[in-house]
């Protein structure tokens, strides 16, 4: 699929193919792609950042990492819906038997932290792969993570969504725009940008279409700092709260092509509707009702108060 070759999983496949000496044509980004402009961080600086992994599918070198994720409840991780696509996983997500979340590991080459099996996956049934709207999925973990790993989600109207707000994106994705995957966790400082900038940049093309209700625009107007392939599903954090999930964009770090994120307030809205719906109507992937997510209240993060995105 077109998007498959322009999004999260191109490079792991290319790497795997290279390792197997199989020539594989890749839709590489243009030479102007210079990424992320990030810096190394220890996962303790963002303990809610997790790696989503499948060694069966992506090999063991980088612990099978192929996407990012965010811990929003002790057993609840958000990632991107496009990370759970059949053409990425090779199988429907509930059949991907070795799907794991890796928490507390800065360096994917190390054995630090915990690897926790994914017990259930719930892919947003409203995810639209043409526009990329609704790009999120909920992973339910087989074992809980500590409350200190949980980040609060910023509700609609939260000041953290205002254009100009400073935000940080975290991930193990491409740092070069050419498939230079990190093995250490990195972060990049960006700003929330006005929707108008992304509307202008992405009026609708094969890459997607910017829809302000469900997407968030962030980056730097001059480019240089951005998320990239392999970062998908990972957190964009502002004022200590989760505002976005890495979703898509045209290239990485290009001036005039900001990063597009799944808007977390829209995730919260969708989840509350999904859990209010009669069973089975909105959960085609299984029975995983999103639970135990934390909503950031006025106290902000770090207060392990338990809210429910899904009342
Ligand atoms: C991707 O392929 C991807 N520069 C993620 C983020 C961005 C571009 C591509 C934003 O998963």
CA distance 142 to 220: 38
User: Using an 8 Å Cβ cutoff, are 310 and 290 in contact?
Assistant: yes
CA distance 108 to 184: 6
Task: Give pTM, 2 decimals.
Answer: 0.85
Closest Cα to atom 2 of ligand 1: 7
| Residues in the chain, total | 311
Distance 9 CA to ligand 1 centre (A): 10
Torsion from C-alpha of 11, 12, 15, 19, nearest 10 degrees = -160
Given the CA of residue 260, which atom of ligand 1 is nearest to it?
10
CA distance 253 to 173: 13
Q: Which two tokens stand for residue 191?
A: 């700003």
**Residues annotated as part of the active site:** 82, 135, 232
Given the CA of residue 8, which atom of ligand 1 is nearest to it?
11
Bridge partners (DSSP) listed for residue 298: none
Choose which residue among 6, 179, 229 to substitute to test ligand 1 binding: the one with the highest number of ligand atoms within 8 A of its C-beta. 229
Enumerate residues lining ligand 1, CB below 6 A: 7-8, 226-229, 231-232, 246, 248-249, 252, 259
Distance 174 CA to ligand 1 centre (A): 9
User: Using an 8 Å Cβ cutoff, are 100 and 115 in contact?
Assistant: yes
- Burial call 204-220: b when 16+ CB within 10 Å, e when fewer: eeebbbbbeebbbbbbb
Kindly give the confidence (pLDDT) of every residue in the chain, 311 residues in length, as a single tens digit, with 9 standing for 90 and above. 334 434 544 444 333 433 333 222 233 333 233 347 899 999 999 999 999 999 999 999 999 999 999 999 999 999 999 999 999 999 999 899 999 999 999 999 999 999 999 999 999 999 999 999 999 999 999 999 999 999 999 999 999 999 999 999 999 999 987 788 889 999 999 999 999 999 999 999 999 999 999 999 999 999 999 999 999 999 999 999 999 999 999 999 999 999 999 999 999 999 999 888 665 433 333 444 454 556 664 333 332 223 333 32
Q: Please give the biggest Cα pair distance in the chain.
A: 54
Distance 303 CA to ligand 1 centre (A): 31
Question: Percent helix, strand, coil in the chain (nearest 5)?
Answer: 20, 25, 55
CA distance 217 to 190: 10
CA distance 99 to 31: 33
Cβ atoms within 10 Å of 287's Cβ, excluding its own: 11
CA distance 214 to 124: 12
């Amino acid at each position: 699929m077109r998007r498959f070759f322009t999004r999260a999983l191109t490079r792991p496949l290319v790497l795997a193919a290279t390792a197997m000496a199989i020539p594989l044509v890749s839709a590489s980004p243009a030479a102007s792609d210079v990424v992320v402009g990030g810096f190394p961080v220890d996962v303790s600086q963002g303990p809610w950042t997790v790696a989503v992994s499948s060694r069966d599918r992506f090999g063991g070198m980088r612990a099978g990492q192929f996407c990012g994720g965010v811990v929003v409840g002790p057993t609840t991780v958000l990632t991107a819906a496009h990370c759970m696509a059949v053409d990425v996983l090779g199988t429907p997500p509930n059949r991907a038997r070795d799907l794991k979340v890796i928490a507390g590991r800065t360096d994917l080459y190390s054995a630090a932290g915990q690897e926790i099996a994914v017990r259930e996956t719930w892919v947003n049934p409203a995810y639209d792969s043409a526009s990329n709207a609704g790009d999120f999925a909920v992973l339910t973990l087989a074992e809980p993570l500590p409350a200190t790993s949980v980040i609060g989600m910023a509700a609609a109207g939260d000041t953290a969504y205002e254009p100009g707000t400073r935000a940080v994106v975290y991930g193990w994705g491409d740092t070069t725009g050419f498939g230079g995957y990190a093995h250490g966790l990195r972060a990049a400082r960006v700003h929330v940008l006005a929707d108008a900038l992304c509307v202008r940049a992405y009026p609708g093309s094969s890459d997607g279409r910017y829809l302000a209700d469900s997407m968030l625009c962030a980056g730097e107007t001059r480019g240089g700092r951005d998320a990239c392939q392999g970062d998908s599903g990972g957190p964009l954090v502002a004022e200590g709260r989760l505002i976005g999930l890495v979703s898509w964009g045209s290239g990485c770090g290009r001036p005039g092509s900001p990063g597009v994120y799944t808007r977390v307030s829209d995730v919260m809205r969708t989840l509350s509707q999904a859990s209010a719906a009669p069973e089975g109507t909105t959960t085609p992937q299984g029975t995983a009702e999103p639970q135990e997510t934390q909503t950031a209240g006025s106290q902000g993060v770090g207060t392990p108060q338990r809210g429910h995105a899904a009342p």
